[in-house]
C-alpha cells in the first residue's frame, strides 16, 4: 500500500504556508535548527497527553515505535476497533485520503466511539480546531461512528490542593458540531496540500507575517536571508497584514512605501528609530509611568528564574504559575540565591521577596508577569501593580517597551527581552530557557556557580536599560 502523503503536522504546516510544506518534504536540509524552547514545548504537550489518558484508563497504547511501524499499527488499530472487548485506545492510527493521523484517545461509546484530543495549553486556538477537523475527517473516512469529539485543555483556574484531580485540571470541550461544519474546507485544504507536494519546484510565496503565526517557521533562515533588516515587519506601528502585502510585492523598507497612504500612519518615532538606528520615542509618556520612572530612590533590579509547569505540583499553585528556582538582584548590594522547586523553596523565595520589596519601592524586572504570577497565588490580583501591601511598584521592562511609544529597530515586533538587552546595552545574555536548563542539570557547586554568574548579569543589564529609558523619557 502507498505511503501516506500528509500527517497532522504537515497538514497544519500547509495551512500556515504551502512553501513550508514543500520545503519540509522536499528540501528538509534547508531547515533551521529547532530551538530548545520549541523542543521543550513539544515535550510538554506529550507529557500532558499521557497524563490525560488517566481520565480514560485501561487503554492500549498504539504508538508506533518507528516510522516503519505505522502501517502495522494502522492495521492493528482497525482490528482492535472491531474487537468487542477493546474499549479504549491511545494514539490509535488511522489513514484516509493519504492522510495519516494518531488520535490521542479513542473510547468505545455504545455502538460508536468518542474521540478525544489533548492540548497542553490553557485555551483552544484555531490551529487546534483545524487539527481536530483533520482527525475527524480521517475517522469519518474510516466509517467510524463518532458520537462525540472533545478537545481537552488545561483549566487555568485549577488550584493544586495536594491531590492531583484530573477532572478539575482538565477542561473538556465538545467540538463535533463545529468539526462537522469544517469537513468541506478540510477536504479542500487536503487537496491543496497534495497539489503542493506534486510540484517540482518550491511555490513562490514571499515571506510575511504568516512566517510567525501560528508558529515561527523553521525555514526563516532560508526565506528571510535576503530580506533587509529594518524592514516593515519589524515595525510595531504598522499593521502586520499591510506590511505583509508590501512584502508580497517586493517592498520591504519604510522608504519604499513613501507614497502609500499607510506611510503617514506609521509612528514618527518608530520611523526615526529605524532611520537613525537608535532608541527614540514619539509622544509624551503616560503620566503614571513618568512619575514611576522618576522614583529612582530605593530601586531594586531583580530577575526571577522559574519553572512554569502545566501541571502544578505545589499546594496552592495553578497551572503555569511560576515556581521559583533562583533569584538574582541588585539594590546597591548584589545578591543571588537558588531554591528547590518545592514548598520549602517557595516559602524561602517568598520571604526573601517580602524582605526585598519592603526595603525598595521601585522594583524593575525583565517580565513583570512572571514575578507577579509567583508572588500572587491568586490570579485575580496577579496583574495588580502597584503591589499595594508593600507600597512598591513592579515594572517589567518588556511591558514598558510594549506599552510605550518607545522604539528601537532591534527590539523586534515581539520585544523579546534578549533583543532589548542587545539593542540597548550591546550585550548578549543567556536566555531564560538555557539558564533554567543548566541550573537543573548542574551537579556540582562549580556548575551551579557558573549558571548563577550568568543570572547575575540580569540585574546589571536591567539597570543599564532603565538608565537608557530614563535618559530618553525623562530629559533633564
Ligand atoms: S519562512 Fe515564511 S515563506 Fe518561508 S516557508 Fe516559512 S512560512 Fe513560508
pLDDT value for 386: 41
Alpha-carbon gap, residue 271 to 338, rounded angstroms: 43
pLDDT value for 59: 97
pLDDT, tens digit, 9 for 90 and up, residues 180-228: 999 999 999 999 999 999 999 999 999 999 999 999 999 999 999 999 9
Q: Is the CB of 209 under 6 A from ligand 1?
A: no
Q: Of ligand 1's atoms, which has the minimum distance to the CA of residue 220?
A: 1
* CATH architecture for segment(s) 287-473: 2-Layer Sandwich (3.30)
pLDDT, tens digit, 9 for 90 and up, residues 407-423: 999 998 889 999 999 99
Q: Of ligand 1's atoms, which has the minimum distance to the CA of residue 22?
A: 5
Alpha-carbon gap, residue 203 to 18, rounded angstroms: 7
C-alpha cell at 48: 500532558
pLDDT value for 382: 38
Nearest CA to ligand 1 atom 7: 211
* pLDDT over 70 percentage in the chain: 93
Contacts of residue 253, Cβ cutoff 8 Å, sequence gap at least 6: 228, 230, 231, 232
Q: Is the CB of 227 under 6 A from ligand 1?
A: no
Whether the Cβ atoms of residue 465 and residue 424 lie closer than 8 Å to each other: yes
pLDDT value for 185: 98
**Mean pLDDT score of the chain, rounded to an integer?**
90
Above 80 in pLDDT, residue 44?
A: no
**Which pLDDT band holds residue 360 (cuts at 50, 70, 90)?**
confident
Q: Is the CB of 30 under 6 A from ligand 1?
A: no
Q: Positive or negative CA dihedral for 321, 156, 127, 249? A: negative
Above 80 in pLDDT, residue 301?
A: yes
Above 80 in pLDDT, residue 158?
A: yes
Above 90 in pLDDT, residue 324?
A: yes
Find the length of the chain. Answer: 476
Alpha-carbon gap, residue 35 to 40, rounded angstroms: 9
Testing ligand 1's pocket by substitution, the residue of 208, 216, 223 carrying the most ligand atoms inside 8 A of its CB is 223
Above 80 in pLDDT, residue 295?
A: no
Alpha-carbon gap, residue 294 to 154, rounded angstroms: 41
Q: What is the mean pLDDT of residues 36-49?
A: 70
Above 60 in pLDDT, residue 10?
A: yes
Least confident of 18-32, 128-142, 270-284, 309-323: 270-284
Q: Is the CB of 218 under 6 A from ligand 1?
A: no
Alpha-carbon gap, residue 249 to 266, rounded angstroms: 19
Above 70 in pLDDT, residue 406?
A: yes
Comparison of pLDDT for 414 and 159, the residue scoring more? 159
CA distances to 115, 134, 147, 148, 183 from 176, in Å: 9, 12, 8, 6, 11
* pLDDT over 90 percentage in the chain: 75
Q: What is the mean pLDDT of residues 237-243?
A: 93
**Which pLDDT band holds residue 466 (cuts at 50, 70, 90)?**
very high
Hey, what CATH topology would domain 6-198 get?
A: Lambda Exonuclease; Chain A (3.90.320)
Above 90 in pLDDT, residue 400?
A: no
Nearest CA to ligand 1 atom 5: 20
C-beta contacts of 162-168 below 8 A and 24+ residues apart: 162/315, 164/311, 166/51, 166/52, 166/54, 166/55, 167/55
Q: What is the mean pLDDT of residues 87-100?
A: 97
Q: Is the CB of 210 under 6 A from ligand 1?
A: yes
The CA 20 to ligand 1 mean position distance, Å, reads 5
Q: Is the CB of 19 under 6 A from ligand 1?
A: yes
Q: What is the mean pLDDT of residues 36-41?
A: 64
Above 90 in pLDDT, residue 403?
A: no
Q: Is the CB of 17 under 6 A from ligand 1?
A: yes
pLDDT value for 231: 93
The CA 219 to ligand 1 mean position distance, Å, reads 6
Above 50 in pLDDT, residue 233?
A: yes
Q: Of ligand 1's atoms, which has the minimum distance to the CA of residue 20?
A: 5
Domain boundaries, the chain: 6-198, 227-266, 287-473
Q: Of ligand 1's atoms, which has the minimum distance to the CA of residue 18?
A: 8
Testing ligand 1's pocket by substitution, the residue of 19, 25, 203 carrying the most ligand atoms inside 8 A of its CB is 19
In the block, cell 548578549 appears at 428
pLDDT value for 375: 82
Least confident of 63-77, 78-92, 153-167: 63-77
Amino acid at each position: 500500500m502507498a505511503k501516506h502523503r500528509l500527517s497532522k503536522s504537515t497538514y497544519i504546516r500547509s495551512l500556515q504556508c504551502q512553501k513550508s510544506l514543500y520545503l519540509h518534504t522536499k528540501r528538509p536540509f534547508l531547515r533551521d535548527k529547532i530551538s530548545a524552547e520549541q523542543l521543550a514545548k513539544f515535550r510538554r504537550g506529550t507529557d500532558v497527553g499521557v497524563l490525560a489518558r488517566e481520565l480514560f484508563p485501561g487503554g492500549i497504547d498504539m504508538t508506533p515505535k518507528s516510522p516503519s511501524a505505522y502501517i502495522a499499527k494502522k492495521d492493528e488499530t482497525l482490528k482492535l476497533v472491531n474487537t468487542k472487548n477493546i474499549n479504549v485506545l491511545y494514539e490509535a492510527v488511522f489513514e484516509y485520503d493519504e492522510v495519516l493521523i494518531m488520535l490521542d484517545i479513542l473510547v468505545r461509546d455504545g455502538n460508536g466511539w468518542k474521540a478525544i484530543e489533548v492540548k497542553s495549553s490553557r485555551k483552544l486556538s484555531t490551529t487546534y480546531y483545524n487539527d481536530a477537523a483533520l482527525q475527524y475527517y480521517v475517522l469519518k473516512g474510516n466509517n467510524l461512528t463518532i458520537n462525540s469529539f472533545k478537545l481537552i485543555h488545561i483549566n487555568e483556574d485549577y488550584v493544586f490542593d495536594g491531590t492531583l484531580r484530573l477532572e478539575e485540571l482538565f477542561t473538556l470541550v465538545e467540538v463535533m458540531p463545529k468539526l462537522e461544519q469544517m469537513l468541506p474546507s478540510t477536504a479542500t485544504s487536503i487537496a491543496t496540500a497534495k497539489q503542493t507536494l506534486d510540484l517540482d519546484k518550491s511555490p513562490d510565496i514571499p515571506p510575511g507575517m504568516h512566517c510567525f503565526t501560528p508558529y515561527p517557521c523553521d525555514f526563516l533562515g532560508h526565506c528571510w536571508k535576503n530580506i533587509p533588516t529594518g524592514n516593515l515587519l519589524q515595525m510595531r506601528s504598522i499593521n502586520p497584514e499591510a506590511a505583509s502585502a508590501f512584502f508580497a510585492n517586493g517592498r520591504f523598507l519604510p522608504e519604499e512605501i513613501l507614497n502609500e497612504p499607510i506611510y503617514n500612519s506609521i509612528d514618527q518615532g518608530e520611523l526615526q528609530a529605524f532611520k537613525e538606528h537608535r532608541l527614540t520615542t514619539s509622544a509624551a509618556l503616560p503620566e503614571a509611568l513618568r512619575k514611576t520612572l522618576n522614583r529612582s530612590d530605593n530601586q531594586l533590579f531583580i530577575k526571577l528564574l522559574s519553572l512554569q509547569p502545566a501541571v502544578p505540583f505545589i499546594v496552592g499553585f495553578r497551572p503555569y504559575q511560576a515556581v521559583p528556582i533562583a533569584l538574582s538582584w541588585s539594590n546597591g548590594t548584589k545578591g543571588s540565591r537558588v531554591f528547590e522547586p518545592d514548598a520549602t523553596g517557595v516559602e524561602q523565595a517568598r520571604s526573601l521577596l517580602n524582605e526585598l520589596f519592603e526595603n525598595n519601592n521601585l522594583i524593575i524586572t525583565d517580565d513583570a508577569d512572571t514575578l507577579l504570577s509567583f508572588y500572587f497565588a491568586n490570579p485575580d490580583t496577579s496583574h495588580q501593580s502597584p503591589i499595594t501591601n508593600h507600597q512598591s511598584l513592579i515594572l517589567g521592562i518588556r511591558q514598558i517597551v510594549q506599552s510605550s511609544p518607545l522604539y528601537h529597530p532591534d527590539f523586534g515586533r515581539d520585544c523579546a527581552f534578549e533583543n532589548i538587552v542587545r539593542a540597548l546595552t550591546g550585550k548578549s545574555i543567556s536566555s531564560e530557557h538555557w539558564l533554567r536548563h543548566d541550573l537543573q542539570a548542574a551537579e556540582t557547586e562549580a556548575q551551579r556557580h557558573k549558571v548563577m554568574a550568568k543570572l547575575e548579569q540580569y540585574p546589571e543589564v536591567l539597570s543599564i536599560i532603565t538608565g537608557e529609558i530614563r535618559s530618553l523619557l525623562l530629559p533633564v
